[in-house]
């Protein structure tokens, strides 16, 4: 058994909306180099937890560190530059942009503040070239390179999911958080998406993902964390979770 080596540790993370406690996580650790699944019924707080940890929503309480660095209160683009990213569904605005522009926009977090002055503008251009190279590498890896000048809105459901994944990799993250990466994808493409997810781990990345399909979850996860009504009610290896009555109750009781 490998020694624990958490890349992410969180404690006491809470978020309420009005009277509703959406997230109330006493303790959570994600081990480096694993594929960890976050599962639970609809409304369990999975997406909210993703938003909180990646700086796209504010906690009411709690603290967490990533690679030993405290991230509490850090805005999303800075969290991304620290190596922890979450995927976002293509918004309406993004669907009107080309595939390549989607990739370049995702790199903005890496460039950070706007620069002025001709020297800095030249540095910017250099950075932009590096971003284009990186974008094209990723588009090839996800077989989207021939679509680079297409409007993102013209992609199929599966290709959109690939683009969402590719976008998140523009900042060279060490941990990727995928929120329902298989949702709405043609079953024929599911295997290919799964292959991309395991490839991320094989490249040394840590993956935390939300998914509903039990076969998918059991097939690729090293560890499973079960969330219900904002709380972690169980965690363990796939075989332990499969036979856990609390987990079955949480799903059937939803
Ligand atoms: P999951 O992703 O597990 O389905 P969510 O994190 O989306 O669950 O939602 C958890 C709970 O918090 C739900 O009851 C949801 O309605 C509520 N919620 C999420 N975001 C907001 C928000 N911005 N305003 C009000 N309630 C929210
Ligand atoms: Mg969700």
Q: What angle do CA 172, 174, 176 make, to 5 degrees?
A: 90
Asked if ipTM goes beyond 0.85, one says: yes
Atom of ligand 1 nearest to the CA of 210: 2
Ion ligand 2: residue ranges with CB closer than 5 A: 46-47
Strands 231-236 and 223-228: antiparallel
Q: How many Å is the maximal CA-CA distance in the chain?
A: 64
pLDDT bucket at 252, cuts 50 / 70 / 90: low
**SS3 label, residue 231:** strand
Phi, psi of 114 (to 5 degrees): -75, 140
User: Ligand 1, from 44, 45, 86: best to mutate by most atoms within 8 Å of Cβ?
Assistant: 45
Contacts of 113 (CB under 8 A, 6+ apart): none
Which ligand 1 atom minimizes the distance to the CA of 18?
25
- How close is the Cα of 249 to the center of ligand 1, in Å? 21
Closest CA to 57 of 114, 14, 121: 14
Q: Identify the pLDDT of residue 254.
A: 46
Q: Is 42 in the pocket of ligand 1 (CB under 6 A)?
A: yes
Kindly state if the Cβ of 51 falls inside 6 Å of ligand 1.
no
Task: Give yes or no for residue 48 CB within 6 A of ligand 1.
Answer: yes
Q: Report the b/e string of 235-251 with b at 16+ CB within 10 A.
A: beebeebeebeebeebe
Is 115 a residue whose pLDDT tops 60? no
- pLDDT tens-digit series, residues 26-38: 999 999 999 999 9
Give the three-state DSSP class for 60. Answer: coil
> What is the pLDDT averaged over residues 93-108?
88
Q: Is the pLDDT of residue 143 over 80?
A: yes
Q: What is the pLDDT of residue 123?
A: 67
More confident residue, 246 or 105: 105
With a 6 Å cutoff on the Cβ, whether 44 touches ligand 1 is yes
230 lines ligand 1 (CB under 6 A): no
Ligand 2 mean position, distance from CA 43 (Å): 7
Q: Looking at ligand 1, which residue's alpha carbon is closest to its atom 15? A: 43
Per-residue pLDDT tens over the stretch 207-230: 999 998 888 899 999 999 999 999
- Read off the pLDDT of each residue in 53-70 and give the average, rounded to a whole number: 95
Note the pLDDT of residue 77. Answer: 87
Q: Which of 67-81, 180-194, 201-215 has the lowest mean pLDDT?
A: 180-194
């Amino acid at each position: 058994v490998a020694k624990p080596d958490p890349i992410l540790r969180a404690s006491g993370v809470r978020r309420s909306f009005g009277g509703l406690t959406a997230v109330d996580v006493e303790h959570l650790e994600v081990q480096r180099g694993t594929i960890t699944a976050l599962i639970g019924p609809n409304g369990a707080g999975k997406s909210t937890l993703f938003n909180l940890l990646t700086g796209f929503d504010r906690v009411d309480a709690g603290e967490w560190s990533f690679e030993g660095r405290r991230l509490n209160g850090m805005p999303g683009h800075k969290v991304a530059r620290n190596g922890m990213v979450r995927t976002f569904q293509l918004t309406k605005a993004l669907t009107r942009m080309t595939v390549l522009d989607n990739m370049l926009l995702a790199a903005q977090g890496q460039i950070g503040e706007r620069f002025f002055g001709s020297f800095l503008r030249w540095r910017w251009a250099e950075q932009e070239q590096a971003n284009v190279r990186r974008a094209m590498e990723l588009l090839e890896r996800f077989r989207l390179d021939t679509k680079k000048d297409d409007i993102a809105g013209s992609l199929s459901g599966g290709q959109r999911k690939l683009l969402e994944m590719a976008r998140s990799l523009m900042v060279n993250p060490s941990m990727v958080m995928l929120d329902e990466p298989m949702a709405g994808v043609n079953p024929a493409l599911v295997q290919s998406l799964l292959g991309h997810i395991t490839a991320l781990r094989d490249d040394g990345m840590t993956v935390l993902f939300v998914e509903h399909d039990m076969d998918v979850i059991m097939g690729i996860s090293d560890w499973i964390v079960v969330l219900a009504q904002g709380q972690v009610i169980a965690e363990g290896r796939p075989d332990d979770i499969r036979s856990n009555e609390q987990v079955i109750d949480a799903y059937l009781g939803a």
